[in-house]
Amino acid sequence: MTPAMRPPAPDEQLGWLVDRAQISDLLYRFARALDEKDFEGYAGLYAEDGELVLPWGGHRGRAGLAEHVRGDLGGFGATHHISSNHLIEVDGDSAASRSYLQAVHVLDAADRRTHWDVGGWYDCSYRRTAEGWRFTRVAITDVWHGGVERD
């Protein structure tokens, strides 16, 4: 992905800024939904044909995505996802981004000192829909792991 270039015309710049803000907000809602265990809300952030690509598997389509993510993250006592350094490139009604991720996964809610951590980035693709910007693809690249692995 190349660095995002802003359009030259002021009226185009406003639309570009609004699109980037909406996509950034989508990334924040993505993390918040995971941490609040709102798996249905999380799935609603994807286009109908959206895809989640994880280093250990994935899922295609909005249908069944909530159940898939619940199976992956629902057993943790808590999670804490951070999405930062959003580099967003908008091209009409499609867009792409890379953002950094750090995620803490608490193994047992009664012992918040025991956790499994991961860092890396999200590579995402988006489509403007009648519902607003939605993910068409979220691919996670894990760069590092720490803490205690879950059995």
**pLDDT digits over 18-59, tens only?**
999 999 999 999 999 999 999 999 999 999 999 999 998 899
Cβ–Cβ < 8 Å for 24, 88: yes
Per the confidence metrics, is the pTM higher than 0.85?
A: yes
Give the phi and the psi of residue 73 in degrees, each rounded to 5: -115, -15
Fold of 10-147: Nuclear Transport Factor 2; Chain: A, (3.10.450)
The residue ranges of every structural domain in the chain are 10-147
Distance set, CA 2 to CA 51, 75, 104, 151 (Å): 22, 38, 29, 39
Taking the C-alpha atoms of residue 18 and residue 129, their distance in angstroms, rounded to an integer, is: 15
Q: Which residue has the higher pLDDT, 11 or 67?
A: 67
Which single residue is written with the structure tokens 């690509």? 53
